[in-house]
Amino acid sequence: QTHLVKGRILDGDGKPVEGATVQVKKGTAVTAADAQGNFKIEAKPGDVLVFSAVNFATKEVKLGNETDLAVTLTRQSSQLDEVVVTAMGIKRSRNALPYAAQEVGGDEVSKTRNSNFVDGLSGKVAGLQITQPTALGASTNVVLRGIKSISQTNQALFVVDGVPFDNTSTATVGQRSGQGGYDYGSNAADLNPDDIESISVLKGAAASALYGSRAANGVILITTKKAKRGLGITVNAGVNVGSYDKSTFVKYQHEYGANYGSGPEINGAYPYGYGSPDGNFLYAPLPQFGQNTPQLIVPTTEDASYGAKFNPNLLVYQWDAFANYPGNPNYGKPTPWVAAKNDPSTFFVNPVSYNTSVFIDGGGENGTFKLGYLRTSDNGILPNSNITKNMLNFGATHNLSKDLTVGGTINYSEISGLGRYGTGYESNNVMTNFRQWWEMNVDIKQQKQAYFNSGGQNVTWNMTDPINGNTKPIYWDNVYFVRYQNYENDSRQRIFGNAYINYTPSKSITLLGRVSMDTYNSLQEERDAIGSVNVPFYSRNNIFYKEMNYDFLATYNKDLSKNFNFKALLGANLRQDTYSSIFASTNGGLNLPNFYALSNSVNPINAPNEALLEKEVGGVFAGATLTYKDMLTLDGTVRRDQSSTLPAGNNAYTYPAISGSWAFYKLLDNAPWISFGKVRVNYAEVGNDAPYHSILNTYVINTPFAGNAMVTLPTTNNNPNLKPERTKSFETGLEMSFLKNRVGFDFTYFASKTFDLITQVNASGATGYLSQYVNFGSIQNNGIELSLNGTPIKTRNFSWDINVNWSKINNKVLSLFNNQQNQVLASYQGGVSINATVGQPFGTIQGNDFIYTNGQRTVGSDGYYLMDTKTTDIIGNATPKWTGGINNSFRYKSFTLSFLIDMRHGGNVFSLDTYYGLADGIYAETAGLNDLGNPSRNSLANGGGIILKGVTADGKTNTIRVDNSGQGYGLYGYVYNPARAFVYDASFVKLRELNISYSLPAKTIERMKPVKGIDIAIVGRNLWIISKNLPYADPEDGLGAGNAQGYQSGSYPAVRNIGFNVKFKF
């Protein structure tokens, strides 16, 4: 005989657990706790009640005769939780979830105290590829289940409490193609990690179709914390120290100094050299220093290290001999020719970063509120770099009546960047210097002294013509001048919030109306100071973004009979986007030093660049779910969108999704060791619209010429006949857990095909355009995802949890425009390009290759490698073969130790750093001894030279020794090797996170009222790259977020972070 059992579900802090599921084990009754944690369920004595909730360990209680229960759930971060937040914020029991969704608890991303919580997802979700660049505050690439679109974004959609949260990168095309500029980071990082309750990753289209077009790339669904009854205060304070990872930086040679080689020796002389007897030094009198006979002078213009062998007995005039700054002991003097005591690795600093947060929540009969504040101040490993974030969030609900609730949240964030790292091939990227063009005789500390002692002057080692008094830089500025004078600064003020009204006219109907806004103003200011190698300038880019969403959602939930439950929803959404920007720059230089305003332009400034991009998408959607005995679920949704970016008449598209699941374990009474088992299958389509302004052509107005108007056609031909892009996807999965959930797995196979891709394709320039918009071709992704979790040991005092995520994606480009076999996505310096190639995974790296004989590199009759002249050989692919993560967590009493190992296998990266740097002779392998035991840089006559590994055209092993004295650039670099030589395997195994935390025992805490808890933690991030195949750099680094990955130029070293954090709960 069943009776009504009621009760309350609380967490360890005595606060209600909203939405916790209560069900009768092996029965049909199921219910959820309300906001106050209260529940009611029909059960009979002897039944086992199962209590479950997101982020809490499942608890079973055997019912006696009691009718009022108080249940306490213990928090845990398990990957296989019982209730999952799905699209539109609907919570579903795990039994009735017909598609892949993986949950990550909020504490998982906040515990490492990384100000960008997105990075904290790495390795924790199967199928989610997170790529973190090494530069401070740079943008994170977030791709779920592979690349689906060729030229449109593939970034997953972020949704916070049901509202899309913009993650657009504001990087310029130039920055993303390696030409320089700054990476202004991921906008998704504008969220307070401490406010995140849970993250639900909806991987496939079926799960996310209700979010419309943007959901084709999957959704990262973020649920922020809900306030609970009672008052809670959490205070966090942390500090962390960073240091650069030596394995990701250059190993230099310290034997030879400046020059590109002395040129060939002819009759004992070096006629192509610099004039000194050995050809490595300039040779001229220096009357300004009282020297009237020729002196040895370092060729300061030569940004390479294939010069004279260091010899402390040799006195030469180096750059500092010509730099007349206070406190320079070497002015006018020759100094010993030795390797610099401080090579560029001494440029890095050990930054100290801080974070502080306060989170307050509370609630009573009629409402709840939460208030959070977070401040982080992150410093980088380069001098004068800092990103400060201030985030304030407030949320409240109020019950107007029993069936009417209003609520809202507002988040304000302010991000200020100073001295973000220059990227790409540019003088403001100091890594271009350190990795590609450097003289090993130049001492960094001395450059630092020169900069500061001269009062901030650009005293560079790379002087144009010091003999004749021209000490201005020829190619490279003093690196300290770069950091302290040519810095950028930026700020972004963002407001994100929503207001809603929730009306429950009957038990089974809920109506929700919501208005939400995501808007920011951003200012990006860049400059090159007077004295720079570049034309001095100041530029500002003012960006305004606003996304408004108006949502209406009606849900219906009714038990049709004892066994059948029916849920339905009907919704409408109107989305309005506005992006506007004004970019202005000075023209022809700056007048006054140290003054950065447009008014300081030498010439009148050109008209600023204005952009106004607007978009409107209207969508209606409906869904229905039929559940039988909480075991069989059938789910269908359909959505129709109409987007303004498509041509009228072709701008509406409808897409369906259908899914089903069967929680078969319910039938397996005779196998008690099976705690859970479910199969699921689904199919979905999603449509996508076109980029802004891709339909109609407009002209471009240029700067007038002597009063005459100047107008040109654009270089991209827009297309008034575009139609929507489509993705069709299929997914099936099996989830099981055993032995009271001690061990479990979730296996998914998925396949998707995207077609009618809207892409800007290259056109023959002879058409008058460089590119045109078309619908074409298709890309296929299929793969498997596997999550394993287990608790090998579980005792009262000790437990060990392990969690493994692994996914493999087979991506393949099926067809391209007009039967082309290849589409160039980006062309880079170094003669390489990233491409979509038919039959290959997306992101083939093309360039020239070696010529092979019997699989071995062929060497010509001169002893050098033969190289293909075509630059279209496929020499790599940026897409990894698989990615995975292993998370281990050990708990002993109040101590917890956890660590995450993050892995990526396969995928390639091209390094422009070694392409040039090996040619310039700065890397260790370009010097040293050869197989004969002689310095390899000796002339061939003196036993130097190298025998390149390879075979001659007739297949015999090469025996010809070739010169390595830097003639016509070094043997190892780009001149004597094809691009293929600089393509590396980008696999890695990283110790991504390490946490040791200690929570003060409850007994101790009890004596410390009002304190409810104190947690102390030592957190480490990116501590150790356990394995990698890319020398001298972090294989994960790239040019920031975007579709063209697999290229490094001026890469920054990885940063290890160790922090200390204390959390107080009141």
Partner 1 sequence: CQKNMTNLNIDTKNPSTAPSYALFSNAQKNLVDYITTPNVNSNIFTLIAQYWTEATYTDESNYNLGNRNIPQNFWNNLYVGALNNFQQAKLLIPNDVTDPAVAKNELEMADIMQVYTYYYLVNTFGNIPYSQANNINKYPFPAYDDAKTVYYDLLNRLDTCINGLNPSAGSFGSADLLYGGDVNSWIKFANSLKLKMAMLIADSDPTTAQKKVNEAINGGVFQSNADNAVFRYTGITPNANPVWVNLIQSNRKDYVITKTLLNPMVALNDPRRSAYYTNQYSGSDIGGTVGVTNTWNNYSNPYFSPITGTIVDPAAPSILLDYAEISFLQAEAVERNFIAGSAETFYNNGVTASIEEWGGSATDAATYLAQPSVAYATAPGGLGAGAIGSTGTNTSTTHWKQAIGLQQYIAYYMRGFDAWTSIRRLYYPAMAVPGSPKSPFPWRYTYPANEATANGPNYQAAKTAMGGDDVTIKLWWMQ
Stretch 584-603 residues interacting with partner 1 (CB under 8 A): 587-588, 603
Q: Which is nearer to partner 1, 172 or 821 (CB)?
A: 821
Supply the minimum distance, in Å, between the C-beta of residue 831 and partner 1: 6
**CA separation for the pair 226, 161 (Å, rounded):** 10
Neighbour tally for 862: CB within 10 Å? 9
Please report, as a single letter, which amino acid is at residue 570: L
Stretch of 160-168, 498-506, 759-767, 852-860 lying at the interface with partner 1 (CB under 8 A): 759-767
Task: Check residue 399 for interaction with partner 1 (CB under 8 A).
Answer: no
Query: Which of the residues 1032 through 1051 are near partner 1 (CB under 8 A)?
Result: none
Task: Check residue 668 for interaction with partner 1 (CB under 8 A).
Answer: no
CA atoms within 13 A on the CB side of 257: 28
Q: Which is nearer to partner 1, 588 or 636 (CB)?
A: 588
Query: Which of the residues 918 through 957 are near partner 1 (CB under 8 A)?
Result: none
**CA separation for the pair 912, 979 (Å, rounded):** 9
Query: Which of the residues 268 through 307 are near partner 1 (CB under 8 A)?
Result: 272, 274-275, 282, 284, 299, 301-302
Query: Cβ-count burial of 293 within 10 angstroms (0-12 exposed, 13-18 middle, 19+ buried)?
Result: exposed
Residue count of the chain, please give it: 1066
Task: Check residue 828 for interaction with partner 1 (CB under 8 A).
Answer: no
Query: Which of the residues 218 through 277 are near partner 1 (CB under 8 A)?
Result: 260-261, 263, 272, 274-275
Q: Which is nearer to partner 1, 75 or 640 (CB)?
A: 640
**CA separation for the pair 314, 307 (Å, rounded):** 14
**CA separation for the pair 71, 827 (Å, rounded):** 61
Query: Pattern of binders to partner 1 over 105-124, x per CB under 8 A?
Result: --------------------
Choose, by CB under 8 A, the member of 61, 360, 467, 951 that binds partner 1.
Answer: 467
Q: Which is nearer to partner 1, 613 or 658 (CB)?
A: 613
The answer to whether the beta carbons of residues 725 and 643 sit under 8 Å apart is no
Q: ω before 277 within 30° of 0 (cis)?
A: no
Beta-bridge partner residues of 919:
none
Where does 18-174 show beta strands of DSSP type E? 21-24, 30-32, 38-43, 48-53, 56-62, 68-72, 83-85, 91-93, 101-105, 128-131, 141-144, 157-160, 163-165
Task: Check residue 917 for interaction with partner 1 (CB under 8 A).
Answer: no
The answer to whether the beta carbons of residues 234 and 902 sit under 8 Å apart is no
Query: Which of the residues 837 through 876 are near partner 1 (CB under 8 A)?
Result: 869, 871-872
Question: Which of helix, strand or coil describes residue 451?
Answer: helix
Choose, by CB under 8 A, the member of 292, 313, 401, 468 that binds partner 1.
Answer: 468
Q: Which is nearer to partner 1, 535 or 668 (CB)?
A: 535
Q: Which is nearer to partner 1, 716 or 888 (CB)?
A: 716
Query: Cβ-count burial of 1027 within 10 angstroms (0-12 exposed, 13-18 middle, 19+ buried)?
Result: exposed
Choose, by CB under 8 A, the member of 269, 400, 597, 710 that binds partner 1.
Answer: 710
Residue-wise DSSP of 305-373: B-SPBPEEEEEEB-GGGG---TT-TTTT--EEE---SS-GGGG----EEEEEEEEEEEE-SSEEEEEEE
Q: Which is nearer to partner 1, 344 or 473 (CB)?
A: 473
Query: Which of the residues 346 through 365 are near partner 1 (CB under 8 A)?
Result: none
Choose, by CB under 8 A, the member of 74, 350, 594, 715 that binds partner 1.
Answer: 715
Q: Which is nearer to partner 1, 461 or 738 (CB)?
A: 461
Choose, by CB under 8 A, the member of 1, 712, 795, 861 that binds partner 1.
Answer: 712
Stretch of 99-107, 155-163, 530-538, 675-683 lying at the interface with partner 1 (CB under 8 A): 530-538
The answer to whether the beta carbons of residues 165 and 118 sit under 8 Å apart is no
Choose, by CB under 8 A, the member of 90, 392, 681, 770 that binds partner 1.
Answer: 770
Choose, by CB under 8 A, the member of 823, 858, 936, 1057 that binds partner 1.
Answer: 823
Q: Which is nearer to partner 1, 559 or 610 (CB)?
A: 610
Supply the minimum distance, in Å, between the C-beta of residue 665 and partner 1: 49
C-alpha to C-alpha distances, 805 to 111, 120, 495, 555, 574, nearest whole angstrom: 19, 14, 35, 34, 37
Choose, by CB under 8 A, the member of 10, 533, 631, 922 that binds partner 1.
Answer: 533
Task: Check residue 469 for interaction with partner 1 (CB under 8 A).
Answer: no
Q: Which residue has the tokens 């009629």?
A: 366
Stretch of 102-110, 136-144, 322-330, 815-823 lying at the interface with partner 1 (CB under 8 A): 815-823
The answer to whether the beta carbons of residues 464 and 470 sit under 8 Å apart is yes
Q: Which is nearer to partner 1, 86 or 822 (CB)?
A: 822
Task: Check residue 553 for interaction with partner 1 (CB under 8 A).
Answer: no
Structure tokens at 191: 């969220």
856-862: long-range contacts, CB 8 A cutoff, minimum separation 24: 856/950, 856/951, 857/948, 857/949, 857/950, 857/951, 858/950, 858/951, 858/952, 858/953, 859/948, 859/950, 859/951, 859/952, 859/958, 859/960, 860/952, 860/953, 861/952, 861/960, 862/960, 862/962
**CA separation for the pair 54, 121 (Å, rounded):** 17
Question: Which of helix, strand or coil describes residue 897?
Answer: strand
Task: Check residue 168 for interaction with partner 1 (CB under 8 A).
Answer: no
Please report, as a single letter, which amino acid is at residue 494: R
Query: Which of the residues 603 through 622 are near partner 1 (CB under 8 A)?
Result: 603-604, 606, 610-612, 614-616, 618
The answer to whether the beta carbons of residues 565 and 581 sit under 8 Å apart is no
Q: Which is nearer to partner 1, 491 or 762 (CB)?
A: 762
Query: Which of the residues 634 through 663 are near partner 1 (CB under 8 A)?
Result: 642, 644-645, 647-648, 651
Choose, by CB under 8 A, the member of 4, 266, 706, 941 that binds partner 1.
Answer: 706
Supply the minimum distance, in Å, between the C-beta of residue 477 and partner 1: 11
Supply the minimum distance, in Å, between the C-beta of residue 771 and partner 1: 9
Choose, by CB under 8 A, the member of 764, 795, 797, 861 that binds partner 1.
Answer: 764
The answer to whether the beta carbons of residues 1008 and 864 sit under 8 Å apart is no
- Number of residues interacting with partner 1: please give it, by CB under 8 A: 86
Choose, by CB under 8 A, the member of 670, 708, 854, 861 that binds partner 1.
Answer: 708
